[in-house]
Amino acid sequence: MDEVTVNVRQVHVTDIDSDVPESIVVLDNKLKDMLTTVESKLMNPLAYTGDDLRGYLVSLKNLEKELEGALNGVFTLVNFMSSKDKDFKELFYNGEEMESFSEFLAESLSKLEEAESKN
């Protein structure tokens, strides 16, 4: 995994940060890039040179589902937050929902790293 993805795993949001919207965009773009890579590998399975093609494809499909789930989470968060006022955003960024979302992202990225290392 590259440095951006690793750094995202280490972030724990405790205060409203002016970089949060930009970080979400960076995360969204990285997830989309990864999904594009996985989809291209799924469309061209003959490029795989290993012994276990079926396992490789299953792993890629699982990775694709994880990426889609993470992208849906980011999309939901952005849409949810775009319609809220400043006080609500402050409570949200410092609340259980954001902590839960951070944990979801960390878990998803851990799974992505594991799956990507197998591919």
Query: Domain for residue 59, yes or no?
Result: yes
Query: Domain for residue 2, yes or no?
Result: no
Query: Domain for residue 5, yes or no?
Result: no
Residues with Cβ within 8 Å of 35's Cβ and at least 6 positions away in sequence, in order, are 64, 67, 68, 71
Measured CA to CA, the distance from residue 76 to residue 7 in angstroms comes to 22
Query: Domain for residue 99, yes or no?
Result: yes
Query: Domain for residue 11, yes or no?
Result: no
Query: Domain for residue 67, yes or no?
Result: yes
Measured CA to CA, the distance from residue 116 to residue 119 in angstroms comes to 5
Q: What is the pLDDT along the chain (119 residues), one digit of tens a residue?
A: 444 444 444 444 444 455 667 778 888 888 999 999 999 999 999 999 989 999 999 999 999 998 999 898 888 877 766 766 777 767 766 777 777 777 877 777 777 777 667 66
Number of domains in the chain: 1
Query: Domain for residue 10, yes or no?
Result: no
CB 22 within 8 A of CB 48: no
**Which residues constitute the domain of residue 41?**
19-118
Rounded to 5°, angle at Cα 10 from 42 and 5: 25
Query: Domain for residue 7, yes or no?
Result: no
